[in-house]
Structure 1
Amino acid sequence: MKQASISKTLLLSIFAVILCCTVSSARKIPGCYAKRAALTQYWIPKEGDKDMTNDGKTVTLNGAKTKALKDHKGKIIAKVSKITYDKFQMEGTGLLLSGTMVNLGSSKNTFMKVNRKKNPYGLGSNENSLIPWVSVAANDIRKGTTLYIKKLDGVKLPDGKVHNGCVRVDDTGWSMGGCHIDFFVLQYKAYQILDTKLPEHVSVVQKSCTVLNYINSSVKKWAVLS
C-alpha cells in the first residue's frame, strides 16, 4: 500500500509539472516580438481639435454632423462629422465637445458612454481602465502581461517624467494584426512629441517588471477639464 501510494503521488507530481510547463509555455509571447515588432501609438481624439488621419494628414475634427454614434441598441449618443466618427472608431475612444467620452462597444460600429470619474482615460477591450504611457494594445498577447521595451526605457515623456520601458497589455486593436504593439499616449499632442523619439519597430520581451505612475497634475487636469 505504501509503495502504491508513493507511485500515485509521484505520478500526480509529474502531471502537475507537465501541466504547469504547458500553461507557462502557452502564456509566452510570440517569438517575433523579440526580433521585430511594429510600434504605433494611439490616443483619445477630441472633437474640435487638430488630429491626424490614418495616412498622416493633419485635420481638424469638425464639420457637418452627419454621422451618428449609436449604442448597441441603436440609440443615438451624439452626432458628429464623418472625419470625427472615423477617428473615434479608429482610436477606439473619443471625447465630445460636450465632455462626454465614448468608447467602442460590442463592435467597431457601436459605442458606449464612459464613466469619466471611474475611467478618466478610457476603457480597454475588457472594459478595464486605460492608463497613459502604461497601457498597450496587442492582439496576440494575454491581457495583463507586462512587457519590457528597451527603446522606450529612458524616453522623456511629454509630462516630463522618464519611462522605465515597462508596459502592460490592457487592450486589443481591431485594425491591426499580430506582432504589433500600440502604445497609449492619451493625446494627439503627446503623439507628436513621442513620434520623433520612438522607432517604428522595436524588440519586446515578456518580463515581470514594475509599471510606473506617469500621471502628474497636468494629466489629471486634462482628465477633469477636457
Structure 2
Amino acid sequence: MTLLFLVLLLLITFTHALPYCHKSSKLTQYWIPKEGEQDMRNDGTSIRLGGSKTKKLLTSNGDIIAKVSESTFEKFQMEGTGLLRSGTMVNLGTDINSFIKLDRTTAPYGLGTSHGLVPWVSVASNDIKKGSLLYIKELDGLKLPNRKIHNGCVRVDDRGWSLTGCHIDFFVLQYKSYKTLAATIPNHVTIKISKTCIIQDYVTDSVKKWAIL
C-alpha cells in the first residue's frame, strides 16, 4: 500500500466520519429574534426586545441599517439573524459587529453559511462538514409546535461563532418554539451521518405568516 493511498484513505475517512464525542453531542437551539416580541437574554432571563434605540446595526462599510435597543442588538448578534418591525431581516456580516440586509425572497428565514436556513431542518456545527445529512434519534417522532412530526433528519447549513466542538445548534425559527421544545429535547443527543435521510418540509402557513409580519 503506497503512502499516497494511505493519505487519501485517511482524508476520506476524516471527511465522512464524525468526531467520536458526537455519540453524546451537546444540543442547543437558535431562532430569529423579532423586534418587539418576548425573548430571552443570554443569561436565560426573559426580556421584551424593545426600549430606547441606542444601538446601530451597521454594515461592514459603516452604513446604518437601523437603530435598535440594546437588548435587540444583543439578541440579533447572539442568534446571527434578526427581524425588524419594518419587516427587514438582517444577518451577521463579516464579523459579529456588522450586519447585512437579507433578500427575503431567497432567504425568508435567515442565512446560513451558503444558503437560506430552513426551520426544524437546519443545524449549525463547527466540526461537521457543511451539507452533511444527519440523523438524530432523539428528534425522530418529536411533535413540533406546529403539530408536525419530525423524522430525525437534519442538515448542516450553518456555523456558529459561539459554538464549541461536538455541539450542534438546532434552528427552531422563533423563541416561542424554543420554549415549547426546551422541555422535550434533551441537552445531549446521538448523531449519525446518514446518506439516506429524507429531509421533510415542516413549514406551514402559520410559520410563513409569522415570518412575513
Larger CA deviation: 158-167 vs 18-27: 18-27
Output the CA distance in 2 between the equivalents of 1:17 and 1:219: 50
User: Match of 1:163, SS?
Assistant: strand
**Equivalent in the alignment of 1:147:** 134
Output the CA distance in 2 between the equivalents of 1:201 and 1:78: 37
Identity value in percent: 56
Output the CA distance in 1 between the equivalents of 2:75 and 2:46: 12
Q: Counterpart of 1:181 in structure 2: which amino acid?
A: I
| In the alignment, structure 1 residue 199 sits paired with structure 2 residue 186 | yes
Output the CA distance in 1 between the equivalents of 2:36 and 2:164: 30
The runs of at least 4 aligned residues of structure 1 exceeding 4 Å deviation read 14-20
Output the CA distance in 1 between the equivalents of 2:118 and 2:18: 22
Q: Counterpart of 2:208 in structure 1: which amino acid?
A: K
Output the CA distance in 2 between the equivalents of 1:182 and 1:94: 17
Output the CA distance in 2 between the equivalents of 1:133 and 1:64: 33
**Equivalent in the alignment of 1:89:** 77
Output the CA distance in 2 between the equivalents of 1:81 and 1:191: 22
Q: Aligned ranges for residues 72-221 of structure 1 at < 5 Å? A: 72-126=60-114, 128-208=115-195, 209-221=197-209
User: Match of 2:165, SS?
Assistant: coil
Matching residue within 9, 21, 26 for 1:21: 9
Cα deviation digits, residues 149-179 of structure 1 (max 9, x gap): 1111100011111001111000011012110
Output the CA distance in 1 between the equivalents of 2:12 and 2:121: 24
Structural RMSD (CA) = 1.5
| In the alignment, structure 1 residue 51 sits paired with structure 2 residue 50 | no
Q: Counterpart of 1:57 in structure 2: which amino acid?
A: T
Output the CA distance in 2 between the equivalents of 1:220 and 1:52: 22
Shift of 1:217: 1.5
Larger gyration radius, structure 1 or structure 2: 1
TM-score (norm 2): 0.94
TM-score (norm 1): 0.89
Output the CA distance in 2 between the equivalents of 1:170 and 1:80: 28
User: Match of 2:33, SS?
Assistant: coil
User: Match of 1:221, SS?
Assistant: helix
Where structure 2 has 5 or more consecutive residues not aligned to the other structure, the ranges are none
Output the CA distance in 2 between the equivalents of 1:59 and 1:223: 20
Output the CA distance in 2 between the equivalents of 1:16 and 1:205: 29
Change (3 A) 1:15 1:212: farther
Output the CA distance in 2 between the equivalents of 1:177 and 1:201: 14
**Equivalent in the alignment of 1:31:** 20
Output the CA distance in 2 between the equivalents of 1:61 and 1:157: 25
Q: Counterpart of 1:162 in structure 2: which amino acid?
A: I
The number of aligned residues is: 211
Q: Counterpart of 2:193 in structure 1: which amino acid?
A: Q
Cα deviation digits, residues 25-77 of structure 1 (max 9, x gap): 1212211001x211000000000100001111010000110100000100010
More helix by share: 1
Q: Counterpart of 2:155 in structure 1: which amino acid?
A: R
Change (3 A) 1:123 1:18: same
Where structure 1 has 5 or more consecutive residues not aligned to the other structure, the ranges are 1-10
More strand by share: 2
